[in-house]
């Protein structure tokens, strides 16, 4: 049975490998020069991001599930190290990273403080923050990849190499908008055959967010 923590873990794996593909996408049909230009453009774009937010819909399909499980919410980022994920479905769940501190509330329980650097829930957020800051990741070496372009979208497929850690996804399929470098759609195939699909919409860049979004919650 899937726990809510599965979302946090695999959501951030998706972000992690999206960043990886931009650093490694010199394969056909992109030439080395074009891939390098894309990397520099993406890096500069992200380093110039002070605020960012986006809606997301997550759909989980898995063996044994009668119907897909759908979750929805919105992500908020304030450079360099403040990140909040609010769930609207299920309502009330959230995660807030402030520096090395991580605050988590799930299923109407009290807020728990963890470490983003050492906790299993928090570690994947480091990949998301790395992407938002425009920093490369080291996980890409565990995957083979193919890149193609269809109209205004890059289609990037990553397949886990033989011998890679068992907990990593078997495959990741990314759709990236060419002109804006925005993530449009992602499907993650998990080791047990389950599939997570993420659709992003209504992203907003560099529109200031209220300080209240990133205030540490009270712990009782």
Q: What is the pLDDT of residue 148?
A: 73
Please give the CATH superfamily to which domain 4-202 belongs: Lipoprotein localisation LolA/LolB/LppX (2.50.20.10)
Give the SS3 label for residue 197.
Answer: strand
pLDDT at site 96: 94
- Please check whether residue 136 is in contact with residue 145, taking contact to mean a CB–CB distance below 8 angstroms: no
In a structure prediction context, what are the per-residue pLDDT tens digits for the chain, which is 220 residues long?
445 555 555 555 555 555 555 544 433 466 667 656 766 776 787 789 899 999 988 788 888 888 998 889 998 999 999 999 898 877 788 889 999 999 998 877 889 999 987 876 666 576 667 667 866 555 667 877 777 777 888 777 778 899 988 877 788 777 778 888 887 887 878 788 888 787 889 999 999 999 998 998 887 6
Q: What number of CA atoms fall less than 13 Å from residue 208's CA on the CB side?
A: 3
Q: Closest by alpha carbon to 111, among 215, 6, 23, 1?
A: 215
Report the distance separating Cα 21 and Cα 83, nearest Å.
Answer: 23
Distances (CA, A) of 90 to 86, 123, 168: 9, 23, 26
Indicate the angle between helix axes 32-47 and 123-133, nearest 10 degrees. Answer: 100
pLDDT at 18: 56
């Amino acid at each position: 049975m899937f726990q809510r923590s599965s979302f946090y873990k695999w959501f951030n794996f998706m972000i992690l490998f999206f960043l990886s593909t931009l650093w490694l996408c010199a394969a056909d049909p992109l030439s080395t020069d074009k891939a390098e230009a894309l990397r520099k453009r993406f890096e500069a774009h992200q380093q110039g991001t002070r605020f960012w937010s986006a809606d997301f819909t997550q759909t989980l399909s898995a063996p044994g599930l009668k119907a897909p499980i759908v979750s929805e919410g919105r992500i908020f980022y304030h450079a360099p190290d403040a990140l909040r994920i609010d769930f609207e479905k299920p309502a009330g769940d959230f995660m807030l990273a402030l520096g090395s501190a991580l605050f988590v509330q799930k299923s109407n329980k009290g807020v728990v403080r963890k470490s983003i650097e050492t906790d299993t829930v928090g570690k994947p957020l480091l990949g998301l923050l790395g992407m938002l800051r425009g920093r490369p990741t080291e996980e890409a070496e565990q995957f083979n990849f193919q890149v193609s372009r269809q109209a205004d979208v890059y289609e990037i497929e990553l397949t886990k190499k033989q011998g890679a850690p068992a907990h990593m996804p078997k495959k990741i399929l990314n759709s990236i908008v060419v002109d804006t470098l925005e993530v449009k759609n992602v499907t993650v195939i998990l080791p047990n055959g389950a599939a997570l699909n993420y659709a992003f919409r209504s992203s907003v860049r560099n529109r200031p967010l209220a300080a209240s979004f990133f205030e540490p919650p009270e712990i009782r």
